[in-house]
Amino acid sequence: MKKPLSVTILILASACVATKTIAPTQGALPFLQQEVPGITLETADKGYVLYKDKCGACHRLHSPSEYTISKWEQNLIEMYPKAKVANEEEKQLIRNYLFSLSK
């Protein structure tokens, strides 16, 4: 059964809104730095973009607050090879972004 066009548009719009809500903001910087001392808005944003591009290419993006740091660490070890993230700098950027907003 075909979905009406309005349902498809609503689903796509919801996905875009959900992705934007996890982008780092200037106002969140003090909170980010509590979890990852030394993180900057620039490096958090780079981590977010990498997370969105690498991980979102295969599945829906999980909110960083969905998991604890230890659970993210487990997930990342498993997912880096699948997402073809081999560069240590990119791994660190993604890790810091997710850790800074984890629960």
Give the total number of structural domains in the chain. Answer: 1
60, 72 contact by CB (below 8 A): no
Tally of CB atoms within 10 A around 4: 8
Could you list the residue range(s) of the whole structural domain that residue 25 is in?
Answer: 5-100
Q: How far apart are CA 80 and CA 53, in angstroms?
A: 13
Which pLDDT tens digits describe the chain residue by residue (103 residues)? 454 544 333 334 444 444 455 899 999 999 999 999 999 999 999 999 999 999 999 999 999 999 999 999 999 999 999 999 999 999 999 999 999 999 9
Q: How many CA atoms lie within 13 A of 30 on its CB side?
A: 1
61, 22 contact by CB (below 8 A): yes
Q: Three-state DSSP class for 25?
A: coil
Tally of CB atoms within 10 A around 30: 8
pTM over 0.85, yes/no:
no
